[in-house]
Structure 1
Amino acid sequence: MAADARSVDGPGTPVSLLQMMTGYWVSQAIYVAAKLGIADHIAAGAADSRDLADATHTDAQSLQRLLRALVSIGVFSEATPGEYGLTPVSALLRTGTPDSMRALAIMYNEEQYRAWADLLFSVRTGKPAFEHTFGKGIFEYFRENPEPAWTFGEAMTAWTNQLAGAVVAAFDFSPFSTVVDVGGSHGTLLAAILRKNPATRGILFDLPNVIAGAAEHLAAEGVADRCTHIGGDFFEAVPAGGDLYVMAQILHDWDDERCVAILRRCRTALRDGGKLLIVELVLPPGDGPFFGKWLDLHMLVMASGRERTAAEYQQLLQAARFELTHVQPTAAGASIVEAV
């Protein structure tokens, strides 16, 4: 159907464009493998294609065709015909591992995939395609649909697992006595901060239905005795008393007006002399490749938010009576925007 990309591909060639246009083939194939738990079954010993078909209740020939395609791009390996193994890529699709990306693979390719099919609507109107497709905003949809809400929570925890180590390596939290994680979900980032800083206490803040699942996670991380978890709405108020407030991957969900509203709540709650950290993919200058440029487009499709430049964060912060003092890149690609 198409030429072999290995022999003729290059910038500007028809095959290069073809690979871009059919990129959803790869994302959906990875999704099916993740949804079926193929990596878990292989790790448990079901390496034969027939055993995998039995374990996943799928058509053996169709599953073999899926795996053949995924082997060709390095997702799985095939040492002998019909015997499949894990690669470093497919190992990330296992369940329950510290670096698991399985929930992310599922999240991006169910409701969010359907919303991307209506990207044209968002570009024409400036409004979220998700709301146009499903008849309600994404967070309202999650409140009414527990299964995708759970997948979203697991996916965000997985994302934060990868981010947390980079954040604690890039910023010295030791001078601060109380860290407030605003919109911190189950506390993955806050737990990483507290583990590295045994003299520091934490306050975890998120919606009541989200925070309900935090106690077990904080206990498992060994920081429950130094962390209070509080439910609420950051558009109304955030817990007072912290000398450091952290928001990771929160502001990119919202438009400028609502970002300023959240920041003003933090300004009111922050102790005198305290600091605010915003962890986001800060858009760099220039036209080079950067994942945040695609995540920005994703936010156009999903919600009212966006990724921003350092100058745009400075404007938001000034509107909430903060001063941007430093932008610190991290090894995970996100940056730490510091403000006082």
Structure 2
Amino acid sequence: MASSAAEPTRISQLATSIQEHTAKVDAYFRSHDLPSPSFDIDLPPDLPAEIRQSQNAILEATDELSDLMLGAQQLAEGFPPRHTSLISIQAISRYDIASKLAIDEEITFTELAERCQLPADDLTRIMRQAISQHIFKEPRKGYIAHTAASRVFIEASELKYWAHIAFDEVWQSTTHLLDALDKWPGSGEPNQAGFNLAKNLNVSFFESMKANKRREKAFANTMSYMQKRQGLGNTTSQLLSAYDWASAKKVVDVGGSLGDTCVDIVREHPSVQCVVQDLPEVITEAEKKASSETASQIKFMAHDFFQEQPVKGADVYLLRWILHDWSDQRAISILRNLIPALKNGANVIVQEFILPEPGMLPSYHEKTIRNMDIAMKAVFNSKERSIEDWKELFEKADPRFIYQSADVPAGSNLAIMRLHWEESK
């Protein structure tokens, strides 16, 4: 049914929202004498909460408006084609293209191709695709120069590891997801995923890392990058503010990778002692990168969380972005392996995505979580979970895991779930 002439249409509502929030952002930049966002100037990392909220509102509204303007035909076609748009970003990472061009340099495509030892025609075509996405620019015909987006590949040292995992691991795995569903219907085994077909391997992603140091290092540094990356909603700042860490004498970060979370905890709470646990190869890398500043407060320990927890009687056991890597059966095993170490009153903090009810979030944000869920299935044969799924998982692991609460702090994509261990149950 057509809308009444007096009622604002959805597209006009979205346009009004974009205009109002853009005016707020613009006023903030002007009043603080900051350069307006452009493709050559990135957003400041420390924008106040109200401006971040306007930023999100603009992204949500433009995303929906764009989909409405594309129409049913192009949405059904997946237009614009997202799979091919990733090729140029993968190439920039694989061939380290950004570092071959100085920040303020302007050279021909031919010269850049020579520096990268790639055919000039191929590099030009790939880079022009990147330029269409505002990664690099062509200031005059035949020449290439940096933008804010291409400079990130130089300035964020861990981005190259993220790109390797995102494109050479996750992306390739998703292209084989349906083949894996056909071959192993209903399987939750970690070695029966799209990853296995993409890489022609019979072992899980994590097992494969033991024989491939490049993959292992890339994954550890990717976790570090995603934890520190501003704007992604995965930083530890929300975790620090959502729990009284000062009340804990000892914290065990189970599967804590390079220890970035514990570094943030002890810097803010010097009385806390942390133990960072991960596989031996990851711990070796973590110890190499460890700072002497926190050496007295952070201990690194090789530990497989499918084995019994060796650190007994800690106040907090933290599982941050761990359980979503595993099927329900494996996740339950991880939780049960904590039990012999838990004292009465111990806290288990689980920080993960919580799948929303359909339609509860703007599609811009729901896409992120739904895409993550598909990626987990493709690579690990695992899943993201709803709050009901999480509660059921904790109960199946052991009724003495008393679920207390789940909060999604402002600005975060991850929920913080609190479990209390009660021996009397």
Q: TM-score, normalised by structure 2?
A: 0.72
The residue type paired with residue 39 of structure 1 is A
Match of 1:107 in 2: 165
1:108-147 → structure 2 map (5 Å cutoff): 108-124=166-182, 125-127=185-187, 128-133=193-198, 134-136=200-202, 137-147=204-214
Q: Does the 8 Å contact 2:87/2:126 carry over to 1?
A: no
TM-score, L = length of structure 1:
0.88
Larger radius of gyration between Structure 1 and Structure 2: 2
User: What corresponds to 1:216 in structure 2?
Assistant: 288
Deviation at 1:240, TM superposition (A): 1.9
In 1: Cα distance, 2:209 partner to 2:146 partner: 33
| Equivalent-residue separation in structure 2 for 1:44 and 1:71 (angstroms) | 16
Amino acid at match of 1:151: A
Q: Measure the CA separation in 2 of the matches of 1:185 and 1:299.
A: 18
Following the alignment from structure 2 to structure 1, what is the Cα–Cα distance between the partners of residues 149 and 243? 29
Decide whether the 8 Å contact of 2:315 with 2:346 is kept in 1. yes
Q: CA deviation at 1:244?
A: 0.9
Q: Which residue of 1 aligns with 2:133?
A: 73
Whether contact under 8 Å (1:35, 1:106) holds in the other structure is yes
Distance in 2 between residues matched to 1:47 and 1:324, nearest whole Å: 57
Counterparts of 1:33-112 in structure 2, within 5 Å, are 33-48=92-107, 49-94=109-154, 96-97=156-157, 100-112=158-170
Please show how residues 268-287 of structure 1 align to structure 2 within 5 Å. Answer: 268-287=340-359
Q: Which amino acid aligns with 2:405?
A: H
Which of 377, 400, 403 does residue 300 from structure 1 map onto? 377
The match for 1:329 among 386, 400, 408 is 408
> How far apart in 1 are the matches of 2:68 and 2:281?
49
One-letter amino acid matched to 1:104? W
CA separation of 1:51 and 1:192: change in aligned 2, threshold 3 A = farther
- Identify if the C-alpha distance between structure 1 residues 78 and 170 changes in structure 2 by more than 3 Å, giving closer, same or farther: farther
Q: Report the Cα distance in structure 1 between the residues aligned to 2:269 and 2:353, rounded to whole angstroms.
A: 25
Task: Say if 2:303 is the partner of 1:232.
Answer: yes
Between 269-278 and 184-193, report the one with greater CA deviation: 269-278
- For structure 1, the residue ranges without an aligned partner over 5 or more in a row are 1-5
Using a 3 Å threshold, how does the CA distance of structure 1 residues 91 and 314 change in structure 2: closer, same or farther? farther
Number of residue pairs aligned between Structure 1 and Structure 2: 332
Task: Give the CA deviation at 1:16.
Answer: 3.7
Go from structure 1 to structure 2 and tell me whether the alpha carbon gap of 1:17 and 1:80 turns closer, same or farther (over 3 Å shift).
farther
Judge conservation of contact 2:352–2:416 (CA < 8 Å) in 1: yes
Q: Contact 1:204–1:229 at 8 Å: present in 2 too?
A: yes
Q: Deviation at 1:43? A: 4.2
Aligned pair partner of 1:265 in 330, 337, 341: 337
Structure 2 partner of 1:3? none
- For the residues of structure 2 that align with 1:312 and 1:8, how far apart are their CA atoms? 31
Match of 1:28 in 2: 87
Q: Deviation of residue 306 (structure 1)?
A: 0.6
Residue 319 of structure 2 corresponds to: 247
Aligned-residue identity in percent: 24
Measured after TM superposition, the shift of residue 282 of structure 1 is: 1.0
Distance 1:165 1:38, change over 3 A: farther
Q: Which residue of 2 aligns with 1:314?
A: 391
- Distance between the aligned counterparts of 1:23 and 1:327, measured in 2? 34
SS in 1 for 2:301: strand
Is contact 1:186-1:214 (8 Å) kept? yes
Matched, 1:204 2:263: no
Measured at CA, do residues 81 and 324 of structure 1 come closer, stay the same or move farther in structure 2, by a change above 3 Å? farther
State the distance in 2 between where 1:73 and 1:189 align.
Answer: 33
**Per-residue Cα deviation, 1:197-250 (whole angstroms, up to 9, x for no partner):** 111110011111221111122226x21221111112111122223201111111
